[in-house]
Copies of this chain bind each other. A is one copy, B any other.
Amino acid sequence: MALIVQKYGGTSVGTVERIEAVADKVAGARARGDDVVVVVSAMSGETNRLLELANAINDTPVPRELDVLLSTGEQVTIALLSMALEKRQCPARSYTGAQVHILTDSAHNKARIMDIDAERVQNDLRAGRVVVVAGFQGIDENGNITTLGRGGSDTTAVAMAAALKADECQIYTDVDGVYTTDPRVVSNARRLDRITFEEMLEMASLGSKVLQIRSVEFAGKYNVPLRVLSSFEEGKGTLITFEDENMEQPLISGIAFNRDEAKLTVRGVPDQPGIAHKILGPIAEANIEVDMIVQNVGADDTTDFTFTVHRNDCSKGLEILKSIGKNLGAGEVNSDNKIVKISLVGVGMRSHAGIASNMFKALAKEGVNIQMISTSEIKVSVVIDEKYLELSVRALHDAFGLEEATSV
């Protein structure tokens, strides 16, 4: 008998019929002898409905009151799911974040979980009940209602699994697992049976939006095995876990890509200590997040400085660069938002050289010019012209044999 935490997102509980289907799944797990804690989101559309009400009153609603408002969304779902479970003779109890003391800091709308009192939940589990917990919400130490921000229900599930020392945290979603790359781009992309936390973090942050990054970090930190499954189809999904020393690791787990970035370049800046800070300091002050940074040696004691930002920040970033470029005595300043970033991710890289050069070779073979390169221990990223995205991802997927389960 295992202790399982299951999380169902907004689409999975979007209608009464889908809530009934979730109740079938939960009651099924219970009938197989597992103890089950369920974490649910608001029914899809509900959070937007509530936001519209708030925005009709104020474009920038008071954060404390916005949390009071939005937290009702999950509260509706926990009640309905518990009713559906009881109808199936499956004893259940619903709890809001406050009722199971999901203690957070006081950062309304983006609070972080600090502690969970697992005792109440454990008492119900011992009494044979399924426990249904509202995701996304908690209380601060003064009893104010807080929310974790969008997608926070994944984090609630992982935190609950950690607090209960659950055997597995299952995230039910509208995809049936994590793929080697986006199946809409590569038709023979393969579902991974398992992937490590580190790889998943790289995949997620690079645009494979299956799971919230924070929940993966949390799961890694507390060593909670995390499984991504489909709410709508049967299947084992993808298990996200620690690297098993005895296990044969695949060389490359997957190919992620991101179409949301733009590139900013300052040419001919004096090659002096502190120059990076002089350029990126004002960018950071403007709250623009920077992703890749590359600095090349140029001619005549000058250097070319390039970095990527979110496309929405491109024109703002360009303006800043133009004003500081003059003070620095820099040359041309320009931007390019017709780019994509493609990344190979795999823990197998740690023990294998040559991955990067094989990547570059595969791209060269297709005539794709590489504009920027950045590497980390388990990842190689390149920036290329966005028109080559599909071509490049397919070529790399082939070159590294990702359509078949390979291992080192």
Contacts and interface: CB of A to CB of B under 8 A. Distances in A.
Query: Copy number in this complex?
Result: 2
Interface in A131-180: 143, 145
A76 B69 contact: yes
A325 to B, nearest CB: 42
Interface in A69-109: 69, 71-72, 75-76, 78-80, 82-84, 86-87, 92-94, 96, 98-99
Contacts of A376: none
A68 interface: yes
A192 interface: no
A19 interface: yes
B61 A83 contact: yes
A328 B213 CA distance: 78
B143 A99 contact: yes
A54 interface: yes
A57 B94 contact: no
Interface string A56-71: 1110011011101101
A408 interface: no
A83 B58 contact: yes
A16 interface: yes
A79 B54 contact: yes
Interface in A37-58: 50, 53-54, 56-58
A385 interface: no
A57 B87 contact: yes
A20 interface: yes
Given A62-B86, A69-B76, A99-B145, 20 more contacts: A16-B53, A16-B56, A50-B76, A53-B76, A53-B80, A54-B83, A57-B83, A57-B84, A58-B87, A61-B83, A62-B82, A65-B80, A65-B82, A68-B78, A68-B82, A71-B75, A72-B72, A72-B76, A96-B145, A99-B143
8 contacts: A16-B56, A57-B84, A57-B87, A58-B83, A58-B86, A65-B79, A69-B75, A98-B98
